[in-house]
Structure 1
Amino acid sequence: MQTRLMQWRDMFDIAVKWRRIADPDQPVLWLDQMPARSLSRGFNNHINLIRGQIINIRYLHYFDKILNFIKDRILVYHGAYNPRGLLEVRQALESVSKVEDLLPIMKFNSKTRDGFTVNSKVPSLKDPGKEYDGFTITITGDRVGNMLFSVDSQTTEDRTQQYQSEIESLYKDLTSKGKALMMSSDLDADAVCNLVLYLVYYFCNLMPLSRGSSVVAYSVVMGALMASGKEVIGRIPKGKLLDFEAMTTSSADSFSKTAKSWMNLQSLPSWYYSLPSVGETFPTIRTMIEVLNTDSTLHCPKKS
């Protein structure tokens, strides 16, 4: 009987299946497995940050970070296409402290009068110097209260293949170092942790799922680190989001350093190794639903 080696998608698909069971009303789909006609058009992961007078407070913590990125790109744009007006634009940007303040600046150039888009880039680790398309920021409108500030990740076949090639390379390195870690205590477990977080960095920027990419990614991080002998003690800071942290961070290494500062990793206690198998403990859909709906507060008391 032949067995197939586990691939990166298999690892993530375990979390995807649990996510589907946790909330069956919200389908979680791999976007590259959608019908060909949908893929050919490109599938948008669309998030409204500000729409009219509605502000999406879930992402509020990242508004300043995105704003600074936009300001940098505006200066680059005017430096290339409007060099005579660059000084005026630079002076105007100095007084910009919120996204709404960009609306008057849009009128400095006829091509941006009705709005503009800004694209982020994600650097490759596999091929230094190469960059992948990240997300697209769009701002349109003519006044406060009549404005759209949104973020899109476009799922096209070419973009998906580029990211999957990066993820496959990291997963190959991860399995190699993971095996070495199991056979020798001399190997630095931090190297394995970095590879896990690098892999998740590209997964979050790819946004390969119809929903739930962030929780799936973080579940994989915790599981992979447990497999390497580490336990996540810390919590994600209030207002922070794993997927947006990856999307708004300029490199995989910077993202890894930030995420590790949240996690407060410690070695697994000895009793972890005597825990029963998840598959044997929750063998049916019913038992999975029951454990997902269990009140865990009695089993996880808050630390004083």
Structure 2
Amino acid sequence: MAGLAAIEIAQKVSKVWRSLQAEWRNAKKGTLKSGKRARRRDRINLPSQNRGGAGCSTSSSSETSASYIIAEDRLSGRGRISWQDIYSVAVKWRQISEPCDPVVWVNKLSEEFNAGFGSHTPMILGQAKVVRYYPNYERTLDVAKTIIKEKAYVRSKTDGIIDLSKDGKLEEIMNAKSCSDLYKAVGEDFWLATGCNSTALEGKQLEGTRITHGYDFAIRTPCTPARWEDFDEEMQAAWENLCNTFCGENYGSTDFGVLEKMRDAILRITYYWYNFMPLSRGTAAVGFVVLLGLLLAANMEFTGSIPKGLQVDWEAILNFHPNSFTDSVKSWLYPSLNVSTSWKEYPDVMSTLSTTASVVAALSHCDDQTA
């Protein structure tokens, strides 16, 4: 599933970037009329230095061809593509490959969305350790203690403020060796929210995930309309930054050093996706598939594997800034990246597998030689 989904994403994104780069090139050469700016306000903004028109003496056949590409892409809607259009490709593949899983966008749940539907991921249930997520327990406990020390309060299960600044509570919390010790220090069920620093709006902090403690010790990510709006804006800014980073002077580069800013831009949007958690299920898988697809579109192929015991989404959730997330991931991700353009020779996935039946057939195919 991941391979075909990543290739389809790379193919779709490369068409968008080709259109934007052609526009950037024409704008730099001064072949676009300044009046066209107003008609593209909803488009991703690239540097514009218009100095002429289509009929000026500097026009050439290559520029005419580029203009045709722009017109073609505008008609097909490629120029207005959003971050959600890209992630929806991976969502589609996740839905088909695991039909029993309710993989849907949270904002499509109507009443649940307005009520603040949230994903719930326990590390400890009662006395039982959840095998899949328990490896993140110690780190989550440390993050919780750090936030409590800074804010000196937590929220009750009814969202009231529990003041922890008196009676030596903070010292007791800092000395807690387990979530049970932490619960005893607070004295009742509680939750606290991690911070997620915005790069779209300097100084703004988004609500990341909530660390909750009652019967279980877990993380819960609410998706309210207000929070959705904040992260939608952040994701769009990260997507535009990604496009602007690639669709300029270094467009199509296969120089690994030149592509460093591109790698960082891809990890930035991945960081906000994981903190956003906009799906009812499958956010982790979808996020990593899109990461692979964006890297492919930028001529980089991931040939390694995720280190044992590491979960990429948790790396994002437990870091308060995208730069910290990038630093924690690139140590194993970047050495496993190879410059590659071989994927450009593959048939178009969307047109080749145009029906759900054809996708299921492709996912069900088994090569006897490798079985």
Question: Alpha-carbon deviations, 1:228-251, whole Å to 9, x = none?
Answer: 010112211122222222111121
2:324 to 235, 254, 258: 254
The aligned residue for residue 104 of structure 1 is 184
Question: Alpha-carbon deviations, 1:205-249, whole Å to 9, x = none?
Answer: 111111101111100000110010101122111222222221111
Question: Is 1:75 the counterpart of 2:143 in the alignment?
Answer: no
TM-score by length of 1: 0.84
Matching residue's letter, 2:180: E
- After superposition, the CA RMSD in angstroms is 2.6
The aligned residue for residue 83 of structure 2 is 8
Matching residue's letter, 1:161: E
SS of the residue aligned with 2:76? coil
Given that residues 252 and 298 in structure 2 are in contact (C-alpha distance below 8 angstroms), is that contact kept between their aligned partners in structure 1? no
Q: How many residues align?
A: 285
CA distance in 2, matches of 1:77, 1:229: 44
SS of the residue aligned with 2:287? helix
How many angstroms does 1:185 deviate by? Answer: 6.0
How many angstroms does 1:167 deviate by? Answer: 0.8
Given that residues 46 and 150 in structure 1 are in contact (C-alpha distance below 8 angstroms), is that contact kept between their aligned partners in structure 2? yes
Q: How does 1:192-203 map to 2 (within 5 A)?
A: 192-203=262-273
2:234 to 154, 166, 185: 166
1:93 to 174, 178, 198: 174
Given that residues 303 and 338 in structure 2 are in contact (C-alpha distance below 8 angstroms), is that contact kept between their aligned partners in structure 1? no
Given that residues 59 and 239 in structure 1 are in contact (C-alpha distance below 8 angstroms), is that contact kept between their aligned partners in structure 2? no
Q: What percent identity do the matched residue pairs reach? A: 26
Given that residues 230 and 265 in structure 1 are in contact (C-alpha distance below 8 angstroms), is that contact kept between their aligned partners in structure 2? no
CA distance in 2, matches of 1:222, 1:296: 24
- Taking a change above 3 Å as real, the CA distance of residues 282 and 116 of structure 1, as seen in their structure-2 partners, is same
CA distance in 1, matches of 2:95, 2:269: 22
CA distance in 2, matches of 1:274, 1:183: 15
2:222 to 150, 154, 164: 154
SS of the residue aligned with 1:58? coil
The structure having more radius of gyration, on CA atoms, is 2
Larger displacement relative to structure 2 (276-285 or 246-255): 276-285
Q: How does 1:285-304 map to 2 (within 5 A)?
A: 285-294=356-365
Larger displacement relative to structure 2 (203-212 or 72-81): 72-81
Matching residue's letter, 2:323: D
CA distance in 1, matches of 2:332, 2:354: 33
TM-score by length of 2: 0.70
Matching residue's letter, 2:182: L
Question: Alpha-carbon deviations, 1:23-67, whole Å to 9, x = none?
Answer: 1111211111222x3332111212222121222121112111111
Unpaired segments of 5 or more residues in structure 2? 1-71, 154-161
How many angstroms does 1:161 deviate by? Answer: 0.6
How many angstroms does 1:284 deviate by? Answer: 3.1
- Taking a change above 3 Å as real, the CA distance of residues 298 and 75 of structure 1, as seen in their structure-2 partners, is farther
Question: Is 1:189 the counterpart of 2:259 in the alignment?
Answer: yes
2:103 to 5, 12, 28: 28
Unpaired segments of 5 or more residues in structure 1? 107-112, 141-146
Matching residue's letter, 1:182: Y
- Taking a change above 3 Å as real, the CA distance of residues 13 and 185 of structure 1, as seen in their structure-2 partners, is same
